[in-house]
Copies of this chain bind each other. A is one copy, B any other.
Amino acid sequence: MPKLGMEPIRRHQLVQATLQAIDEAGLANATIARIANRANVSTGIISHYFGGKEGLLDATMRQVLDELGKGIAQRRARAEDSPRAQIRAIIDGNFDEHQVSQSVMKTWLAFWASSMHRSNLQRLQQVNDRRLYSNLCFQFRRCLPRQEAQNAARGLAALIDGLWLRGALASKTLDVERARRIAYDYLDGQLQRAETFA
Protein backbone atom coordinates (compact mmCIF):
# COMPACT_ATOMS: atom_id res chain seq x y z
CA MET A 1 0.00 0.00 0.00
CA PRO A 2 2.29 2.69 -1.29
CA LYS A 3 1.95 6.12 0.16
CA LEU A 4 3.95 9.03 -1.15
CA GLY A 5 6.94 10.61 0.55
CA MET A 6 8.14 7.34 1.98
CA GLU A 7 11.78 7.96 1.24
CA PRO A 8 12.81 9.86 4.40
CA ILE A 9 10.77 7.49 6.54
CA ARG A 10 12.27 4.37 4.98
CA ARG A 11 15.78 5.74 5.13
CA HIS A 12 15.49 6.43 8.84
CA GLN A 13 13.77 3.11 9.46
CA LEU A 14 16.51 1.21 7.68
CA VAL A 15 19.32 3.03 9.45
CA GLN A 16 17.72 2.20 12.78
CA ALA A 17 17.25 -1.40 11.73
CA THR A 18 20.92 -1.52 10.77
CA LEU A 19 21.96 -0.35 14.23
CA GLN A 20 19.70 -2.96 15.76
CA ALA A 21 21.04 -5.73 13.53
CA ILE A 22 24.65 -4.85 14.32
CA ASP A 23 23.81 -4.78 18.01
CA GLU A 24 22.19 -8.18 17.81
CA ALA A 25 24.58 -10.04 15.58
CA GLY A 26 27.61 -7.93 14.75
CA LEU A 27 28.52 -6.25 11.52
CA ALA A 28 29.59 -9.52 9.92
CA ASN A 29 26.15 -11.03 10.47
CA ALA A 30 24.14 -7.92 9.75
CA THR A 31 22.84 -9.27 6.46
CA ILE A 32 20.39 -7.32 4.36
CA ALA A 33 17.85 -10.06 5.03
CA ARG A 34 18.16 -9.45 8.77
CA ILE A 35 18.09 -5.69 8.42
CA ALA A 36 15.06 -5.78 6.13
CA ASN A 37 13.32 -8.10 8.55
CA ARG A 38 13.93 -5.77 11.50
CA ALA A 39 12.52 -2.90 9.46
CA ASN A 40 9.57 -5.01 8.30
CA VAL A 41 10.32 -4.40 4.66
CA SER A 42 11.69 -6.53 1.87
CA THR A 43 15.32 -6.76 0.87
CA GLY A 44 14.80 -4.98 -2.42
CA ILE A 45 14.07 -1.71 -0.66
CA ILE A 46 17.64 -1.38 0.47
CA SER A 47 19.01 -1.30 -3.03
CA HIS A 48 16.17 0.97 -4.03
CA TYR A 49 16.92 3.68 -1.48
CA PHE A 50 20.61 3.18 -0.82
CA GLY A 51 21.87 1.62 -4.02
CA GLY A 52 23.13 -1.38 -2.09
CA LYS A 53 24.30 -2.57 1.27
CA GLU A 54 27.40 -0.41 1.25
CA GLY A 55 25.30 2.71 0.80
CA LEU A 56 23.22 1.77 3.81
CA LEU A 57 26.26 1.18 5.99
CA ASP A 58 27.66 4.50 4.84
CA ALA A 59 24.46 6.28 5.76
CA THR A 60 24.38 4.54 9.12
CA MET A 61 27.88 5.61 10.02
CA ARG A 62 27.14 9.15 8.84
CA GLN A 63 24.12 9.31 11.11
CA VAL A 64 26.03 8.12 14.13
CA LEU A 65 28.80 10.62 13.46
CA ASP A 66 26.35 13.43 12.82
CA GLU A 67 24.44 12.88 16.03
CA LEU A 68 27.61 12.82 18.04
CA GLY A 69 28.79 16.01 16.38
CA LYS A 70 25.50 17.80 16.85
CA GLY A 71 25.24 16.80 20.49
CA ILE A 72 28.68 18.15 21.19
CA ALA A 73 28.04 21.39 19.30
CA GLN A 74 24.85 22.00 21.28
CA ARG A 75 26.56 21.47 24.60
CA ARG A 76 29.43 23.71 23.61
CA ALA A 77 27.07 26.49 22.58
CA ARG A 78 25.40 26.35 25.97
CA ALA A 79 28.66 26.27 27.91
CA GLU A 80 30.65 29.34 28.85
CA ASP A 81 33.67 30.19 26.76
CA SER A 82 36.48 29.05 29.02
CA PRO A 83 38.81 26.20 28.09
CA ARG A 84 37.61 24.19 31.05
CA ALA A 85 33.91 24.60 30.32
CA GLN A 86 34.34 23.99 26.60
CA ILE A 87 36.37 20.83 27.08
CA ARG A 88 33.92 19.60 29.69
CA ALA A 89 31.17 20.11 27.14
CA ILE A 90 33.10 17.98 24.67
CA ILE A 91 33.54 15.26 27.28
CA ASP A 92 29.87 15.39 28.22
CA GLY A 93 28.85 15.18 24.59
CA ASN A 94 30.91 12.05 24.11
CA PHE A 95 29.33 10.42 27.12
CA ASP A 96 25.81 11.53 26.39
CA GLU A 97 23.14 8.98 27.27
CA HIS A 98 22.19 8.66 23.66
CA GLN A 99 25.74 7.93 22.55
CA VAL A 100 26.57 5.24 25.06
CA SER A 101 23.75 2.85 24.22
CA GLN A 102 24.99 -0.64 23.54
CA SER A 103 23.92 -0.57 19.92
CA VAL A 104 25.67 2.71 19.14
CA MET A 105 28.89 1.65 20.82
CA LYS A 106 28.93 -1.71 19.08
CA THR A 107 28.35 0.00 15.77
CA TRP A 108 31.15 2.41 16.45
CA LEU A 109 33.58 -0.34 17.22
CA ALA A 110 32.54 -2.37 14.20
CA PHE A 111 32.98 0.63 11.94
CA TRP A 112 36.29 1.49 13.53
CA ALA A 113 37.60 -1.94 12.66
CA SER A 114 36.22 -2.14 9.16
CA SER A 115 37.10 1.43 8.29
CA MET A 116 40.72 0.42 7.92
CA HIS A 117 39.86 -1.46 4.76
CA ARG A 118 37.04 0.61 3.30
CA SER A 119 38.27 3.91 2.02
CA ASN A 120 34.90 5.67 2.20
CA LEU A 121 34.42 4.74 5.85
CA GLN A 122 38.02 5.62 6.55
CA ARG A 123 37.55 9.18 5.37
CA LEU A 124 34.53 9.66 7.61
CA GLN A 125 36.47 8.18 10.48
CA GLN A 126 39.49 10.37 10.06
CA VAL A 127 37.48 13.54 9.64
CA ASN A 128 35.79 12.80 12.92
CA ASP A 129 39.01 11.93 14.70
CA ARG A 130 40.65 15.10 13.54
CA ARG A 131 37.73 17.22 14.60
CA LEU A 132 37.78 15.90 18.13
CA TYR A 133 41.53 16.33 18.33
CA SER A 134 41.67 19.81 16.89
CA ASN A 135 38.82 21.08 19.01
CA LEU A 136 40.58 19.83 22.10
CA CYS A 137 43.88 21.18 20.89
CA PHE A 138 42.44 24.61 20.23
CA GLN A 139 41.03 24.86 23.73
CA PHE A 140 44.17 23.61 25.41
CA ARG A 141 46.24 26.08 23.43
CA ARG A 142 44.42 28.91 25.17
CA CYS A 143 46.29 28.05 28.33
CA LEU A 144 49.18 25.78 27.35
CA PRO A 145 52.18 26.10 25.02
CA ARG A 146 51.92 24.33 21.69
CA GLN A 147 53.70 21.11 22.55
CA GLU A 148 51.93 20.73 25.87
CA ALA A 149 48.57 21.45 24.33
CA GLN A 150 49.10 18.86 21.65
CA ASN A 151 50.00 16.21 24.17
CA ALA A 152 47.08 17.11 26.40
CA ALA A 153 44.70 16.90 23.43
CA ARG A 154 46.13 13.60 22.26
CA GLY A 155 45.88 12.20 25.75
CA LEU A 156 42.33 13.31 26.39
CA ALA A 157 41.16 12.12 22.98
CA ALA A 158 42.74 8.74 23.62
CA LEU A 159 41.27 8.61 27.11
CA ILE A 160 37.78 9.29 25.78
CA ASP A 161 38.10 6.68 23.06
CA GLY A 162 39.58 4.19 25.48
CA LEU A 163 36.76 4.64 27.99
CA TRP A 164 34.33 4.13 25.14
CA LEU A 165 36.11 1.07 23.91
CA ARG A 166 36.20 -0.54 27.33
CA GLY A 167 32.57 0.36 27.79
CA ALA A 168 31.63 -1.32 24.54
CA LEU A 169 33.50 -4.48 25.45
CA ALA A 170 32.34 -4.74 29.04
CA SER A 171 29.21 -6.79 29.40
CA LYS A 172 27.61 -4.21 31.66
CA THR A 173 26.56 -0.87 30.28
CA LEU A 174 29.15 1.85 30.55
CA ASP A 175 29.21 3.62 33.90
CA VAL A 176 28.85 7.12 32.48
CA GLU A 177 29.30 8.87 35.80
CA ARG A 178 32.59 7.20 36.47
CA ALA A 179 33.87 7.71 32.93
CA ARG A 180 33.11 11.41 33.10
CA ARG A 181 34.84 11.78 36.43
CA ILE A 182 37.97 10.10 35.09
CA ALA A 183 38.02 12.38 32.06
CA TYR A 184 37.35 15.46 34.21
CA ASP A 185 40.25 14.52 36.45
CA TYR A 186 42.54 14.26 33.48
CA LEU A 187 41.38 17.64 32.27
CA ASP A 188 41.95 19.26 35.64
CA GLY A 189 45.37 17.68 35.86
CA GLN A 190 46.34 19.26 32.57
CA LEU A 191 44.87 22.64 33.49
CA GLN A 192 46.69 22.61 36.78
CA ARG A 193 49.87 22.21 34.83
CA ALA A 194 48.87 25.29 32.85
CA GLU A 195 49.49 27.43 35.90
CA THR A 196 53.14 26.46 35.71
CA PHE A 197 53.31 28.25 32.38
CA ALA A 198 51.16 31.24 33.30
Taking Cβ atoms with an 8 Å cutoff, the residues of A that contact B are: 25-29, 106, 109-110, 112-117, 125-126, 129, 151, 154-155, 157-163, 165-166, 168-171, 178, 181-182, 185-186, 189
Q: How far is the CB of A126 from chain B (nearest CB, A)?
A: 7
Residues of B within 8 A of A165 (CB): 112, 158, 161-162, 165
Indicate how many identical chains form the complex: 2
Enumerate 17 A-B pairs (CB-CB under 8 Å) in ascending A order: A26-B116, A26-B117, A27-B113, A28-B117, A110-B113, A112-B169, A113-B114, A116-B168, A126-B171, A129-B166, A151-B178, A151-B185, A157-B162, A157-B166, A158-B159, A158-B182, A161-B161
Selected from B106, B163, B181, the residue in CB contact (under 8 A) with A162 is B163
Structural contact, B182 and A151, CB atoms closer than 8 A: yes
